[in-house]
Amino acid sequence: MILIHLHEGKAFVWKAEDVQEIREKHGLIGNLVGALVRKPRQNARLGLPLQLSTEETRLLVEIGAATLDSIGSNSSTDDEETSRPEVDAYKQFLEESYKEQGQLALEEKRRTLERLSDHIAEGRTKRKRQHDEQEGTQMDCSTRGPIKELQNLEKTFNFPREAMMVQIPTARTPVGSVQPVDLYQASADWPYSGQSEHETRYKVFKDLWEKGYFLTSGNKFGGDFLVYPGDPMRFHAHFIALCFPQNKKIPMSDIITAGRLGTNVKKTVLLCSPNQEGTVTYTSLQWSGMQ
The contacts of residue 233 (CB under 8 Å, 6+ apart) are none
- The residue from 5, 203, 206, 267 that is catalytic is 267
pTM: 0.69
For residue 260, the model assigns a pLDDT of 86
**Under a CB-based contact definition with an 8 Å cutoff, are residues 214 and 228 in contact?**
yes
Listed in sequence order, the DSSP H helices in the chain are: 16-24, 54-62, 77-135, 144-151, 153-156, 196-210, 252-264
Give dist(CA 238, CA 78) in Å, integer. Answer: 52
Q: What is the pLDDT of residue 171?
A: 62
In this prediction, residue 75 carries a pLDDT of 47
Q: How many CA atoms lie within 13 A of 101 on its CB side?
A: 15
Active site residue 267: yes
Which residue is catalytic, options 119, 131, 236, 282? 236
Which amino acid is present at 41? R
Active site residue 90: no
pLDDT tens for each residue of the chain, 291 residues long? 999 999 889 999 999 999 999 999 999 999 999 888 777 788 888 988 999 999 999 999 999 999 998 865 444 555 556 567 878 888 899 999 999 999 999 999 888 888 877 777 777 777 777 777 777 655 555 545 556 666 677 788 889 988 888 876 666 555 556 678 888 889 888 999 999 999 999 999 999 999 999 999 999 998 999 999 999 999 999 999 999 998 889 999 988 888 888 888 999 999 999 998 889 999 998 777 543
Best CA proximity match to 27, nearest among 67, 5, 55, 46: 55
182: left (phi over 0), alpha (psi -120 to 50) or beta: beta
* Whether residue 228 lies in the annotated active site: yes
User: Which is catalytic among the residues 192, 202, 213, 228?
Assistant: 228
Task: Give the pLDDT score at 227.
Answer: 97
Half-sphere exposure of 68 (CA within 13 A, CB side): 24
What's the Cα-to-Cα distance from 216 to each of 21, 53, 54, 182, 187, rounded to whole Å? 17, 9, 12, 25, 25
